[in-house]
Amino acid sequence: MVQHYSAHVNASFAALADATRRGVLDQLARGDASITDLADKFEMTLTGMKKHDGVLELAGLVTTEKIGRVRTCRIGPSRLEREMAWIARYRQVWDARFEALDGVIDELKREEQARGRKQRK
Amino acid sequence: MVQHYSAHVNASFAALADATRRGVLDQLARGDASITDLADKFEMTLTGMKKHDGVLELAGLVTTEKIGRVRTCRIGPSRLEREMAWIARYRQVWDARFEALDGVIDELKREEQARGRKQRK
């Protein structure tokens, strides 16, 4: 079996697996912010926020630019396209699978009813 | 700032942050399988596959049932609805933000052209 490995998708989902990092993305989607602003907003040390920012940067979800002593964070370039596509496709297969199961159950019910009618005759 | 914490969303994204676990979900979406089958397919030890299965189960992405000596895995009950919604909403804000930026850039261009015309007069 061919195993599709995607380090980028791994990094993105890992970055999203933390409520603070999702909060940071929500915040940056509304406007750029410095690491200091973010640390304040999320009641976190600068070191802690830098770590979260590093994880988001590795996943391509945030870019930072240092001007003078201020490091400004903004969202992008990743728009989570591959991650969205993966989940969408999975849900599609999921739905198809359970529709098929529903079909089998309906079929069994019909057969049972047919048997019931035969026995009553 | 209210920080929306969701342990369940954390667990789901963490479960998806591994190519083998995504592969297992793809596989189970096509049909139920035993831990042994999955370990064989992904060329992994039983112990390794049990760990991956545990992470998927915690996230509600897989359920297992032990009948006799065979532990069968199937997908569900999570259809990744909240995770899909989170990404969809994020992409929406992302798009709106960059459309707004495009608007600002267009506005600046128009102003510059207007200034250029005035200077030529």
Q: Which of A5, A79, A93 sits opposite B94 (nearest CB)?
A: A79
Question: CB distance from B44 to chain A under 8 Å?
Answer: no
Asked which of A68-77, A90-99, B49-58, B94-103 is least confident by mean pLDDT, the reply is B94-103
Question: CB distance from B6 to chain A under 8 Å?
Answer: yes
What's the pTM?
Answer: 0.81
Q: Is there a contact between A7 and A50 (Cβ–Cβ < 8 Å)?
A: no
Position B1 scores a pLDDT of 34
Question: CB distance from A1 to chain B under 8 Å?
Answer: yes
Q: How many CB atoms lie within 10 A of CB B116?
A: 9
Shortest CA gap B44–chain A (Å): 12
DSSP assignment letter at A84: H
Average pLDDT over residues A64-73: 92
Residue A4 has pLDDT above 50, yes or no: no
Q: Is there a contact between B73 and B35 (Cβ–Cβ < 8 Å)?
A: yes
Position A121 scores a pLDDT of 63
Q: How far apart are CA B119 and CA B121, in angstroms?
A: 5
Shortest CA gap A59–chain B (Å): 11
Q: How far apart are CA B42 and CA A2, in angstroms?
A: 9
What are the structure tokens assigned to A53, written together? 């920012």
Residue B3 has pLDDT above 80, yes or no: no
Average pLDDT over residues A65-87: 92
CB contacts under 8 A, A 47-86 vs B, are 75-76, 79-80, 83-84, 86
CA-closest candidate to residue B77, choices B92, B107, B56, B104: B56
